[in-house]
Structure 1
C-alpha cells in the first residue's frame, strides 16, 4: 500500500484497552510505585559498596536521577575551570634529534649517584 499524502498511516490509532487490561496496567503501576523505596535503597547499598563491580553505575544512576544526565559538578576546592591545554608538536628534523640525544647523554645521572 503506497503512502498517500495527507492520510494517516494508522487511521484507527492505538487499539483501546479492555477493562481487564486497564486493571492490570493500574495494578502494575501501583506495584512499581510501592517498590520504589526498596529499589532505591538497594541501589544506594550497591553505590556504597566500593568492591561491587556495579558501584560506579549505581552512583551514576543516582546522580542522573537526582540532577539530570548533563550536569557538571565541581569538587570543593577545584573551582578553577581553566582548561588543560595539551600541545601536540610535530616531530622535528634530524638535526633536532641529534641535539636532543646530545642533551640526554650530557645530563647527569642523579639516580646512579644516589645509589653509590
Structure 2
C-alpha cells in the first residue's frame, strides 16, 4: 500500500511539472517592448514583452522574457524573427506563478524559442 501511494504521488508530481510547460501556436511577432528600470513595478526590471497570438488561455496575447543571464540569447532570436517576418513558436510556463506582473493582461514566461521557415 505504501509503495503504491508513493508511486502514485511521484507520478502526480511528474505529471504536474510537465503540464506547466506548453507551446504557443506558430505565428508572427507583432510588437516587442523592453523595460530598463520600472519605478512602479520593480519585478519587471529588464523584462521584454513580446506580442504574438499564442492560442493559450492563460496568455492569449503574448509572452515575456524575464531578465536573466540567458535573456539576451532569447531576445536576439525574437528580434531576428521580428525583423525578418519569420514565424516563431515559444515554449512557455503556463502556470499562474510565472505570469508577468507588469500589466492587467497575462503574458506567459518564455522557456525557449524556435524559429521556423515559412
Larger strand fraction of residues: 2
Flag the structure with larger Rg.
1
What's the TM-score once normalised by structure 1's chain length?
Answer: 0.23
